[in-house]
Structure 1
Amino acid sequence: MRDRLEAPKNQGASRSQRRFTVRYGPAVVILVLLIALGSFLIFAGFTPVPPSDAVLLGLLIANVVGIFVVLCFILIEAYSLFRARRAGVAGAQLHIQIVALFSIVAAAPALLMAWVGSVTLERSLNPGFMHDGRAFVQTTIDAARLFREAQCKSLLQEARLTASDLDRAKLMFEVDRPLFRDFFTSRTRFLGFTAAALMKPDGSVIEKIETGSAIGTTIVRPEPADFDDAKKNEPLCLILDEGRTFAAVRAMISFENTFLYVARPVDPFTVEFPRQAARLVTLYDAFDSHRRSIQIAFATMFILIALIMLLSATWLGLSFANRLVAPIRRLIAATDQVSSGNLNVQVAVRKSEGDLAHLGETFNKMTSELRLQQNRLIAASSLIDERRLFTEAVLSGVPVAVVSVGSKGEITVLNPSAARLVQPDGEGAKSILGQPLDNVLPEIREVFAEARAGQSRMAPAEISIVRGGLERLFSVSITTVPTGRGGRSYIVTLDDITDLVSAQRTAAWADVARRIAHEIRNPLTPIQLSAERLKRKYGRLITQDRDIFDQCTDTIIRQVDDIKRMVDEFSSFARMPKPRVENNDLGECVRRVLFLMRVAHPNIIFEDSLPEEPVHGRFDRRLLSQALTNIVKNATEGIEAEVAASGPFEGHIGVALSVSEDMVVIDVVDNGKGFPKDNRQRLLEPYMTTRAEGTGLGLPIVAKILADHGGGLELRDAPRGRGAWVRLFFPLDQATPDQADASSEVVTATATQDS
């Protein structure tokens, strides 16, 4: 449905007011214009009427009355326009603009005429040579000032050169004082100084030169501030004798706390001439102020005439606008509706309106095209919203952290995984938007800089990130996306591959252990049997060096047993049994392990914090006991290593068991050697150990046992100074053993370092 707009009726002015202004308005305006023209002709002297005071007063009154009458007509029209605008009639503002246009067109010639008359009057009362004479005098004053400044600069430069020469003659001053005085005198007379001396800051004169000049020979003591400025090597020119003498003070480098004082008289002409020229300019300004009064009188009359022209043009503009604005009002009303969102509007077109009718037809075509484009934009916007929602849903569901970075390195978008990586508590993620990526994720600063500097579209890398005391390994991929203005934006993805890398390394080491055990186990038994047979058969036959023979055979047998035990550990790690989960009391399991450790290590204090109630859950009691035994055993070995390194102290091991949200946590804290600060993550890899006699399989076995139970292992620093803190955690209740078998494929173990 289309809305057609008809021409609104003007209800702004009453009929009587319009009849009055239409009947008498043109006559009044013409009469006022004739009065203004007559005033101009009389002022210009083109009429036999002399411009006497009475005539000028009469013309002034006539012009003022004419201005008042025309102003009344304008106010009537303006009131009508005000009522129309207050009623909301379209086109009232256009009336004002048209009137302003006519006023400017009329006022411009009037103002130009007033300016021409003022210039003419100016030229008649002030000949050009007088203005040039004043400018010449002012320029001469400036020239005298510049000449004085040049003399001052010349004096400063020559004083600096003289001070430099005297500094070089310091040895002459100390060895041959008369010769130094002669040198000083020659420099003073050569440079034309009327006074020269070496003085101290207190005013005492060390050396004074008699120049024989008639004037300017008096040495005036400078102020203390002048000496301070000279020490700072600042150019200092003193004006003495009411401006008739210039003096300069320079600090001497070779003479301790000594200054060079030189003076030179100034040409008296440069002192007296600016004063006389200033008095001449004052006299000229007094004459100029009298001339201004005449110009003001003529300018007043010209302004009145210009005001008459302006008001007449305003009234004509109001009258003409009434006929011109009707079709434009329809367009304005239609445009208002278009601006409010109604694109179905159409304006009425009348052929008699000429070009404005064509404008109405063009407006109708425009609204039709806009309506079509709006429908297309709405459809495109709906499609974009659907795609945006789909993209947000995908990004919020993926575990990979995704960060969008602008061309200047600022963060523009980040998904929930990235927000949790940056802010583990999930708060303040919105405040991160707009911040530089280097400040939020400093760990990827180098990778991001390489990606920005390179031309490759994708830049992969691996980095370690520590958040909340947890060290995790991330695979970083930075993709470059060209922007519309020739710039580039970036998509940074961070995938946590800690568990994957740990599982791959564990599987690789398990395969290596399996091969080593297979290759080493076979020759061990023949070696041991051969050594035992040699000892039995030839032990009684050997009479010489029997002890050495027995020692060698025993060493072979003992070392073979050690290698067998090591191979058994390799085999145990390679073929870790699958957990047989059953309902057990975890608290009782921890108590048994601590009992055995207290018996084995009576010199270490064991403290436990266990719940009084049974902690029932489904787990493999034997494997978890083995894991906890290994951890406590490592704690005792750490204490023993610290005792050997630092001396005897009271060993302490604390074991705490807690349950939180169906997750059981076992904390083992000791005050022993502790974990290394660097590469702590490597301790969870097979065959990585910090002890010379260790195999490096204890912690990997514990991590695998906990992973098979769906949990993990964390290595921390003891909260109270030195020592280690190991945290074991796993779900308290697993549904079926099959789930435990499936979870054994992934090892979850993280190393942490508390700052």
Structure 2
Amino acid sequence: MDIAPVRRWRGYGFIAVAAILVISVLMLLARSVENSAQFSRWQLWILGANIAGVIVLAVLLARKLRQLVRDYRHHVPGSRLTARTVAMFGALVVVPLLVIYLFSLEFLNRGIDSWFRVEIKQGLDEAVVLSRSALDLRMREQARRTEALAASLREYSNAALAAALDAERRTAAARELIAFGPNGEVIAASVDARELLIDPQIPREMLMQVRGNRPYMGLEPLSDGGYLISTAAPIPDFGPETRRRFLVARQLLPRELADLANAVQHAYNNYGVLSYVREPLKYQFRLALTLVLLLAMLSAIYLAIRSAQLLTKPVHDLIQGTRAVGKGDFETRLPLPSRDEMGFLVQSFNDMTKRLRRASEEANRSRQLIELERERLAVILGGLSTGLLVVDTSLRLRIANEAADSILGTELASLIGVELGRVAEAPPRLAEFTSRLRARLTGEAREWQDEFELPPDRVLRVACAPLADAAGEAGYVVVFDDITSLLHAQRDAAWGEVARRLAHEIRNPLTPIQLAAERLGRRLAGKLSGEDAEILDRATRTIVQQVESMKGMVNAFSEYARAPDLKLARVDLNELVAEAVELYRAQESGAALAMQIDARLPPLLGDRGRMRQVLNNLIANGLEAVEGVPRGRVTVQTQMNSGPKGNTAVIMVTDNGHGFRQEMLARVFEPYVTSKPKGTGLGLAIVKKIAEEHGGSIEADNRPEGGAFVRVVLPLTALQEGAQPARDIA
């Protein structure tokens, strides 16, 4: 929908509304000038109309001038011509309008000032003075009568005053006669029964004047518009009981005199109100004339702007359309202004945008196909279990799949676009990998395979191939996989084969050697005497002991090498731990042996004998680790853990010995790795094998406070309800 006509007619509508408002204001002001009494009636309407007119005119003028200035600063075509046209029309209109405006202001001031001539003001002032003089004369007469009455009451005692006041009130036709004591207390009073006006409260000013032996007179307004004359005079002293008395008289002012005084005061007040609004009325007329001036100026400026816009609109539309096409909006269509040369130019522009739109649609379809292929490739890469990286010729990372994040232990999305040599603050595994990879990529070989050893004990098999595009070499594709588990399995199989061969080769000669040594000892025991017999006995016993030791080693080899033959049953780990701890406590090794079992731990499915072997090996290793350590302590602990993969049983053996040496910590579960002079290095290896046979895992490390721990985690097959909290048994 084209909103330009709507805006154009809306602007004309604003001008029409403003003109109607100004004409209405002028009519109201004309009536106010003819009849000043109507000014207060029309004042709010005049003010509201003025404000509305000013707002409408200010909005129109501000919008048009702001648009004109903005177009001029941005070099909009036609803006300079519009500015010159506005300046010309303004010069032609402003001068005559200012002359009319100044003449109207002068006429206005003279017309309103004629309402407030000096003769009227002087007459009202004299009437007010005359009214006040009449009231003062009346009050002075009342004050003289009150003084005379007070003097006549000099000889009356306080008890006789009431009767005297009644007689005097009837004679003087007064409303109230009240006699007060020195402290303002009422001594006697006479009040007209029809007007119970007695008021014991004495004005402070009256009391002060009377105590100073001065008469008092005042005028009190009544609710019905009348006035009450109040006078007071001291009563001369006659004796000790009649000292410092005074008389208060109140007389109603005649109604005719009260109405006359009110009328004069009302006329004077009305004239004062009119005098007060004299300047606001002038201001209202000035504001109305100013609105007329603004309306004329705005109309001229608006018409000048509209005329210039009509002349330059086709050029302006072409420029706007060109900018829209430059921003990628190929749907732009310009209206045909006419069928002249300008119309031909606009039609050519519309034909060009049609062709550009068709070309843009083709480009969008091609881009969507590329995005679809890219998403499909991302799905394929995400489904690979092998890590994949794409590196450009500048060794900047371009693509990394989810398997690469998992193998390297970090998210590589934040490193896309980063050169491999700048990955210095990455985790150790990633930093080592990128360092090794960069070294191979900068070498001479373009296609290679290698194995990277990463801390602490990971091994990756890495392969690289060059990536080429139509322009030549574009980078490298690097694929890698974690073969740590495979190598461990191969190593375990190799060690198992070695153990099996050693057990077979060593076990065969051990029994003949032991039997031969025992037979030799028995045969020669009676033939030798003294030192020779002792040497023979010691030698044969040594041979037998060493053979027994080697048999134990051979049995360990056999145990490690034999295939798993598990006899699965429900095994209570807490019961096995208690039995093993009691067994080793009975041996009195000298170290403290404690256990902490979790009563919530349910039975698990396992081989009872193999589980007992795990506990025996771990406890024996712990006791050997604290030999020679003051206050050595070994703790066996069971615990049930809940995790996202299900519930697990944990066996942990801790000691406060010397811990593992750092160089053997990474290989502690490998066969024949030991720090003991007489150890076989198969204890922890067998424990690891048994744990893996049960689907569990094992870990070992040094404790920060000293010593070491070995933790075995086994899956649970059932849980017991109503479990009890863990308890410690030392």
* Structure of larger gyration radius: 2
TM-score if structure 1 supplies the norm length? 0.48
Which structure ranks higher in relative contact order (CA pairs < 8 Å, sequence separation ≥ 6)? 1
| TM-score, normalised via structure 2 length | 0.49
